[in-house]
């Protein structure tokens, strides 16, 4: 089902003291979509992803992942969400002995216990993402 909503954010606000990092963010990501968060340093890209993954709490609004896991629910619900939400780190904080794609494959292999062959197949699907015109 292509219309299935995987991530839905409504009027999300995040503050760090007097600094508002996210202001009334609305975002809907449907199954099969690939999105890019692009902007200058300090514009809230990493904060937004950290909020989706519940590494940061929001002050207002709502975030729903996979059609029903509200991120203000129990730790168990958060753990379920984290199995399907990836995090990209700034400053290239990757394992230096691995390629970027190998670093991206590590979490599914460890956290979801998928086989290396399945991870390789998924990696092959996404390795060209963003390169087509």
Reduced to 3 states (helix: H, G, I; strand: E, B; else coil), residue 121 is helix
Residue 14 has what pLDDT? Answer: 96
Q: Which residue ranges make up each domain of the chain? A: 5-91, 94-133
Q: CA 57, CA 69: separation in Å to the nearest integer?
A: 15
Q: Which residues pair with 30 in a beta bridge?
A: 5
CATH of the domain spanning 5-91, picked from 1.10.645.10, 3.40.50.300, 3.40.50.620, 3.40.1010.10 = 3.40.50.300
End-to-end CA distance of the chain: 25
CA distances from 112 to 61, 69, 70, 74 (A): 29, 18, 21, 20
Residue 60 has what pLDDT? Answer: 95
Residue 21 has what pLDDT? Answer: 95
Q: Give 80's Cβ-side CA count (13 Å radius).
A: 14
Residue 17 has what pLDDT? Answer: 94
Q: CA 58, CA 48: separation in Å to the nearest integer?
A: 9
User: Does the pLDDT value for residue 133 go beyond 50?
Assistant: no
Segment 26-83, tens digit of pLDDT? 999 998 888 888 888 889 988 998 898 888 889 999 988 877 656 555 666 666 666 6
Segment 91-129, tens digit of pLDDT? 556 778 888 778 777 877 877 788 888 888 877 776 665
Residue 23 has what pLDDT? Answer: 97
Residues in the chain: 133
Residue 59 has what pLDDT? Answer: 94
Residue 67 has what pLDDT? Answer: 73
For residues 52 and 7, the answer to whether their CB atoms sit within 8 Å is yes
57 sits in which H/E element:
none
Tokens coding 49: 């992803």
């Amino acid at each position: 089902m292509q219309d299935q909503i995987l991530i839905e954010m409504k009027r999300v606000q995040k503050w760090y003291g007097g600094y508002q990092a996210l202001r009334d963010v609305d975002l809907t990501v449907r199954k099969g979509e690939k999105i890019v968060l692009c902007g200058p340093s300090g514009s809230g890209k990493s904060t937004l992803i950290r909020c989706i993954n519940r590494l940061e709490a929001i002050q207002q609004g709502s975030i729903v992942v996979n059609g029903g896991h509200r991120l203000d629910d129990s730790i168990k619900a958060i753990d379920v969400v984290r199995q399907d939400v990836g995090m990209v780190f700034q400053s290239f904080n990757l394992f230096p002995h691995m390629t970027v794609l190998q670093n991206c494959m590590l979490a599914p292999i460890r956290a979801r216990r998928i086989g290396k062959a399945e991870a390789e197949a998924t990696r092959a699907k996404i390795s060209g993402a963003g390169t087509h015109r």
